[in-house]
Amino acid sequence: MEKKSLDFIEFITSRKSTRNFIFEEIKKETLENILECGRWAPSGLNNQPWRVCVAEHPLLKKMLADTTEYGGILESAYYNLVIFLELDKTYNRVKDLQAIGAFMENILLGAHALGLGAVWIGEILNNKEKVNEIFKLSADKYELMGVIALGKIDKQMEAKKEKERTRRFLDDFVEWY
């Protein structure tokens, strides 16, 4: 395989969730580059059913943090990307959710490409009504899909808390015909 291809595969497999951040400014332009990766995610009929509320203000992050047991992560991240499904743009539940998954993974990979840390917080869905209220978004129009906490990686803490990363083996989930 070409080196470039190998590098790209290594890039994908080396992405991991970051839950320890150093509080340091991340410029809006940097975040825009990351969001651009989301923008180019595939979606059924190219319907692009996503909506992102970017929370940077500490008070807003605190309000979000209070809605999840992973609040400490949200508060310590520089940005909280709150991702909604825009219901007016939807056409097929499964395909719309798949598109959101692709969108969110692209954002995680964009952050990784720029050497930043990110983690997808799904637990917050347990309090999705409260999150809609925070942004004054009607639940009839916007459905919370998750939050991505993004920030500069606290490498020391990450190393300290590092656990072995595991995945099922291909033979466990691939069938060849």
Ligand X SMILES: Cc1cc2nc3c(=O)[nH]c(=O)nc-3n(C[C@H](O)[C@H](O)[C@H](O)COP(=O)(O)O)c2cc1C
* Token pair of 175 as six digits: 């069938």
Straight-line distance from the first to the last Cα atom of the chain, in angstroms, rounded to the nearest whole number: 24
Residue 111 is a binding residue for ligand X (CB under 6 A): no
Q: Angle at CA 15, nearest 5°, toward 12 and 16?
A: 150
Residue 44 is a binding residue for ligand X (CB under 6 A): no
Residue of 4, 27, 136, 165 interacting with ligand X (CB under 6 A): 165
Residue 158 is a binding residue for ligand X (CB under 6 A): no
Q: What is the rounded CA–CA span in Å between residue 43 and residue 61?
A: 29
For 163, other C-beta atoms within 10 Å of its C-beta total: 6
Residue 27 is a binding residue for ligand X (CB under 6 A): no
Task: Output 31 or 107, the one with its CB closest to ligand X.
Answer: 107
What distance lies between CA 81 and its chain's CA centroid? 7
Nearest to 146 by CA among 50, 32, 35, 37: 50
Residue 98 is a binding residue for ligand X (CB under 6 A): no
The stretch among 28-36, 87-95, 116-124, 154-162 that binds ligand X (CB under 6 A) is 116-124
Task: Output 87 or 97, the one with its CB closest to ligand X.
Answer: 97
Task: Output 173 or 177, the one with its CB closest to ligand X.
Answer: 173
Residues of this chain that interact with ligand X (CB under 6 A) are 16-17, 19, 70, 119-123, 165
